[in-house]
Amino acid sequence: MARINENYAKLKAGYLFPEIGRRVAAFQKANPDAKVIKLGIGDVTRPLVPAVVEAMRAAVDEMGSDAGFRGYGPEQGYDFLIDAIREHDYASRGVTIGRDEIFVSDGSKCDSGNIQEIFATDSVVALTDPVYPVYLDTNVMAGRTGAAGDDGRYAGIVYMPTTAENDFTPALPKEHVDLIYLCSPNNPTGAAATKEQLATWVQHAKKTGAVILFDAAYEAFISDPKIPHSIYEVDGAREVAIEFRSFSKTAGFTGTRCAFTVVPKEVTAAAGNGERIALNGLWNRRHTTKFNGVSYPIQRAAAATYSSEGHRQTRDIIAFYMENARLIREGLQRAGYTVYGGVNAPYIWLRTPAGASSWEFFDRLLGTANVVGTPGSGFGPSGEGYFRLSAFNSRANVEEAIARIGRMPAK
């Protein structure tokens, strides 16, 4: 009899977004005339920019011609895209990344979820709390944890609380850890790590032999010139860090699918006999064995985000979302809320008022302002008492949502 991977039984049910959907549907049924505004989901709302669409269309025409047709491409991505990434994302910031250190893929969700495969099953994993759930659940599936306790925490995971009390800067773990997941700018808290803070992590990883898995999916939203866009802007990071980047939020590719992972040649981990093995070769083996490349038109579309037109057009959309973020942040502050984020990230993380739990505030916001957000507790136990609003919506909806929140009775 075939047997299942029992680790899947340890996963808590995908509770957060289905539960939000259930409560919104129930409210809408009871209040059919209410115009509910959703500031909950982490998905973009603006269409692809013209430069991207043109590049994609031209590539589709190429694929339909004898001269331009292409079959399998390099699993790691075409050089035209890899070179554009090296030049615009890295060389422009003083960072040198080699062609064979970039792996183009169909998403950072898959990459940040798959990367754990190249590490030992008994690796100790450190995660921030709250956290993007992919980092946790993929390690649960791989058997790196025990069961979840009543406090919502899995045995074996080292949780690093990131709350207002520590200024959303997690402390270095006291216990030994092998893998450290960091996300900056952060989903869900909206916080962005400074160069000094990242340097502390790099030093710690060098001293302890840990590897940092750095998710920079929101780097395009950074407005503060002092905040690094890549962990490789920190000296020594090439020896200890893997970086994930995505076109999803940067250029509206959530439905188009293109991302990449950087694995520098210097970053290593130990084999059983103590020998240090380059992770670049391991990830190359994994990527080329289990993945057959991103489609040619999509890679052409991604490359178009780096042309001067494409860059200007995508920057305009980021600026649009960040103006939404400013309106939400300042509107909430005027209404008396304590808010974080929204400056270097499209997420506003607010403290629920008067000791309300995240879900109590969800119900109140839905019931009185007809606005949907995401309860902070859904991202981890330390997210309790917080709430996430996203800047991904139309200007009219954002303005209306903020006006309604301003009229909510303070309680």
Q: Which residues bind ligand PLP (CB under 6 A)?
A: 42, 107-109, 132, 183, 187, 215, 217, 246, 248-249, 254, 259
Residue 185 preceded by cis peptide, ω within 30: yes
Write down the least CB distance from residue 347 to ligand PLP, Å: 9
Residue 338: closest CA among 290, 383, 273, 386: 386
Write down the least CB distance from residue 69 to ligand PLP, Å: 28
Give the nearer residue to ligand PLP in terms of CB position, either 108 or 370.
108
Write down the least CB distance from residue 220 to ligand PLP, Å: 12
Starting at the edge strand found earlier in the chain, the sheet holding 158-161 runs 102-105, 259-262, 241-246, 211-215, 179-183, 125-129, 158-161
Are the C-beta atoms of 388 and 361 separated by less than 8 Å?
no
Query: Dihedrals φ, ψ of 154, to 5°?
Result: -85, 140
Q: Chain centroid to CA 264: how far? A: 20
Write down the least CB distance from residue 275 to ligand PLP, Å: 32
Give the nearer residue to ligand PLP in terms of CB position, either 109 or 351.
109
Residue 386: closest CA among 189, 159, 166, 165: 189
Give the nearer residue to ligand PLP in terms of CB position, either 280 or 374.
374
Beta strands, E only, 329-384? 339-341, 347-351, 371-372, 374-375
CA distances (Å), 358 to each of 235, 380, 398, 403, in order? 39, 11, 21, 21
Write down the least CB distance from residue 295 to ligand PLP, Å: 15
Residue 84 has, within 13 A of its CA and on its CB side, a CA count of 18
Q: How far apart are the first and last CA of the chain?
A: 57
Give the nearer residue to ligand PLP in terms of CB position, either 212 or 369.
212
Give the nearer residue to ligand PLP in terms of CB position, either 109 or 300.
109
Are the C-beta atoms of 385 and 37 separated by less than 8 Å?
no
Write down the least CB distance from residue 245 to ligand PLP, Å: 8
Residue 231: closest CA among 283, 196, 260: 196
Write down the least CB distance from residue 128 to ligand PLP, Å: 11
Give the nearer residue to ligand PLP in terms of CB position, either 183 or 339.
183
Give the nearer residue to ligand PLP in terms of CB position, either 145 or 248.
248
Are the C-beta atoms of 99 and 112 separated by less than 8 Å?
no
Give the nearer residue to ligand PLP in terms of CB position, either 108 or 344.
108
Write down the least CB distance from residue 354 to ligand PLP, Å: 29
| Count of Cβ atoms closer than 10 Å to residue 255 Cβ | 9
Instruction: Give the nearest residue (CB) to ligand PLP.
Output: 107
